[in-house]
Chains A and B, each alone.
Chain A
């Protein structure tokens, strides 16, 4: 090093200083990230962070469809109305690759380079938890129209909200339907959970509810993602539980049903969350998907109204025309998520681009308002264990029948009686 010509040394030091200055300056600008950045625009720039590649790409696209449909509908009607003027919405996408670390990087990049006004949040709970601290740093509000893990809300992030009630509020619904509304009531349950923050929370919720209802938990196992379910199903088959419950996503549920079928095992009912309401689950399993039970807070059959989409029925039709399949509760929640932001923006009368002060006001407005949407009334909790989660929606028990989601519980709202025990896979 000592023998190097001084010229190279000096230029090297200059380069390092230059780079460091640039980086520090970049951080400074990013941390403020506000109107002074000099960007004048007459539209809202909305960030979408979700899984557009990686293992959860299917679910990521379910959320993207919901967000896209909101943006398209709002723009077709002129935009978000603030005062006398309407502002169009432009979505910019960031791919979290189904990986929390990649998600944190992607959202940081999106905030600093795109300078988005607010963010429509990730598909998975894992990514949501990784992204939330970054939003705290840059003070950008986000609502996730999908994540359901209760762990997110316990951390009390100021800038993160969620449209779907946490699974510890909803997951107990099918268990209590089974415990109370069918004869003879199931006595035992085996629970499988996939090892990610959401699926584990689902398995926990099932377990807690089963114990509360006096159903014996004969097996409780958390397995790594991408596992081969056959050995586990063999072990469960020997225990002959009445219910087989799985916490995971659509792919895992499909594989569990396939593994059960190939091993000739049939519990009296399958209980699965999340993903049985997605078009892929129903299409790929065909008749085998029938009678699978799950939890939801919304189905295409509920009846609510709002200004943007009209009735729930109108929304479902619009979505069917646009994407060619019936929307499930996550896709619909994502569309409703856009409506909440629009209502809060209208309330504070903020025009794009939003300053840091306006974004803080937006958070305050999100805490205060109640928005009636085609998804149902949405109101975020402002204290307690479900901080900033929309806890108001009623958890429903659903069961698939002929490829349709049918509400089978609670008793006072059900469309049909729950089927239990269900016909075996081999006899359909």
Chain B
């Protein structure tokens, strides 16, 4: 990149150059928030599942993928706008999660020194199984999810806001707030928090942690499947699409503090910011390097997560 003209071109060009730089900075900031927004829904569910059930679900990305494919199918056969399918997908995946959780619970309950590790290995296998099944079922083609927001964007003060991404972020925030209300204002929510904090004591207080774990897993699967619709329409839908989100979910949960809810949101935004700023000002090649270096620093100096609320 050549240096911007300063003296020779005179003041106006210089000012234009400054404006351009300012615009780019604001746009990068906004992009960061919007990228982070995509991760929030996944991070919230993932974090909760970990908190209550000690499950690190390696198949998190595959739930995203299955959600996207489900929306693709409904869209393809019934011509319903993918965004209108959000409630349907959360219900459908919630139900699948609810029915599936006991299988997972069996693995965690086995008498083994590191049952959590067994669950990790089990969900790893599950993710491979889901990917293979998707490849068999939907084939190798890349699919496109077109929503009524896909084509639109708004420009404010030189900053472009892609409508779909704004929608995804707003939606993630609304879901998170609703979730917070549920966790902090309802009895079931309180029970979940109690179980997350100390399952043994919660059990002694008469909380049925098995039923709660099922509920939590249902919520987690529903939220994750639903975020697949946004991810599928922003990017594209294919059997391998989930893999990158598994890696990011781990980053978000570890950086945010294991089991911490608000930490996960902050970490999701941090992830978006790093991806955005590093790409623009350093180069895309450095994103992962810096991402995991930051994670290392966080683990070193804030082992309980960036907000200090994790374990």
In the complex, are the beta carbons of A53 and B144 less than 8 A apart?
A: no
Please report which residues of chain A, range 221-235, place their CB below 8 angstroms from some CB of chain B when the two chains form the complex. Answer: 221-224, 226-228, 230-232, 234-235
Is A263 part of the contact surface with B, judged by Cβ < 8 Å?
yes
Interface assignment of B264: CB less than 8 Å from any CB of chain A: no
Query: Which of B31, B144, B240 meets A234, CB within 8 Å?
Result: B31
Within 8 Å of chain B (Cβ to Cβ): is A57? yes
Residues in B with CB closer than 8 Å to A321 are: none
Q: How many A-B residue pairs have CB under 8 A?
A: 118
Contact A263 B162 (CB under 8 A): yes
Residues of B within 8 A of A224 (CB): 284-285, 287-288
Q: Does B165 lie at the interface of the complex (its beta carbon under 8 Å from any beta carbon of A)?
A: yes
Q: Is A112 an interface residue (CB 8 A)?
A: no
Kindly state the separation between the CA atoms of A263 and B288 in the bound complex, as whole angstroms: 24
Is there a chain A Cβ closer than 8 Å to B24's Cβ?
A: yes
B186 sits at the interface (CB 8 A): no
In the assembled complex, the Cα of A60 lies from the Cα of B23 at a distance in Å of: 42
Q: In whole angstroms, what is the CA distance A348 to B117 when docked?
A: 58
A349 contacts which chain B residues (CB < 8 A)?
A: none
CB of B27 within 8 A of chain A?
Answer: yes
Q: Is B276 an interface residue (CB 8 A)?
A: yes
Q: Which residues of chain B are within 8 angstroms of A263 by Cβ–Cβ distance? A: 153, 160, 162
Smallest Cβ distance from B225 to chain A, in angstroms? 20
* Chain A residues whose C-beta falls within 8 Å of the C-beta of B279 in the assembled complex: 221, 223, 227, 231-232, 235
**Cβ of A219 < 8 Å from any Cβ of B?**
yes
Q: Which of B151, B162, B244, B280 contacts A231 (CB 8 A)?
A: B280
Picked from B165, B236, B275, the residue with its CB within 8 Å of the CB of A284 is B236
CA distance A186 to B277 in the complex (A): 29
Given known contacts A223-B284, A238-B20, A284-B236, A231 and B28 CB-to-CB distance under 8 angstroms? yes
A58 engages B142 (CB within 8 Å)? yes
Is B266 an interface residue, CB under 8 A from the partner?
A: no
CA of A117 to CA of B103, assembled, Å? 47
Please tell me if A180 contacts chain B, counting CB pairs below 8 Å: no
**Could you say which interface size class chain B belongs to?**
35 or more
CB atoms of B141 and A234 under 8 A apart = no
For A195, list chain B residues within 8 Å (CB): 285
Give A185-202 interface residues, CB cut-off 8 Å to B. 192, 195
Q: Is the interface of A mostly helix, strand, loop or mixed?
A: helix
Q: Count of chain A residues with Cβ under 8 Å from any Cβ of B?
A: 40
- Contact residues in A for B32 (Cβ distance below 8 Å): 231
CA A237 – CA B144 in complex, angstroms? 24
User: Which residues of chain A from 260 to 304 have any CB-CB distance to chain B below 8 Å in the complex?
Assistant: 261-265, 280, 284-285
Partner-binding segment picked from A35-43, A247-255, A332-340, A353-361: A247-255
- Residue pair A60, B1 in contact (C-beta under 8 Å): no
A214 within 8 A of B: no
Closest CB in chain A relative to B266 CB, distance in Å: 19
Q: How far in angstroms is the closest Cβ of chain B from A265?
A: 8
Cβ B285 vs Cβ A58 within 8 A: no
Residue of A with least CB distance to B289: A224
Nearest opposing residue in chain B for A224, CB measure: B288
Contact indicator B285/A223 (Cβ below 8 Å): yes
Find out whether the CB atom of B238 lies under 8 angstroms from the CB atom of A230.
Answer: no
Which A residues from 206 to 228 make CB contacts under 8 A with B? Answer: 216, 218-219, 221-224, 226-228
B164 on the A face (CB < 8 A): yes
Kindly state the separation between the CA atoms of A232 and B27 in the bound complex, as whole angstroms: 11
Whether the pair A58, B235 counts as a contact (CB closer than 8 A) is no
The residue from B162, B164, B284 contacting A222, defined by CB atoms under 8 A apart: B284
Which single member of A53, A234, A250, A261 contacts B280 (CB below 8 Å)?
A: A234
- Binary contact track A52-72/B, C-beta < 8 Å → 1, others 0: 011101101100000000000
Would you give the shortest CB distance from A261 to chain B, in whole angstroms? 7
What separation, in Å, do the CA atoms of A228 and B143 have in the docked complex?
Answer: 17
The chain A residue with its CB closest to the CB of B244 is A226
The listed residue (B23, B135, B155, B238) touching A264 by CB distance below 8 A is B155
Contact B140–A221 (Cβ < 8 Å): no
- Chain B positions 198 through 239: 1 when the CB is less than 8 Å from some CB of chain A, otherwise 0: 000000000000000000000000000000000000111011
Can you name 5 A-B pairs with beta carbons within 8 Å? A216-B2, A227-B287, A230-B35, A231-B32, A234-B27
Which of A's residues lie within 8 Å of B, judged by CB? 53-55, 57-58, 60-61, 192, 195, 216, 218-219, 221-224, 226-228, 230-232, 234-235, 237-239, 250-251, 254-255, 258, 261-265, 280, 284-285
What 12 new A-B contacts, CB under 8 Å, besides A53-B132, A221-B284, A224-B287? Answer: A54-B240, A60-B140, A218-B1, A221-B279, A221-B285, A223-B283, A224-B285, A227-B279, A230-B276, A234-B27, A239-B1, A264-B160
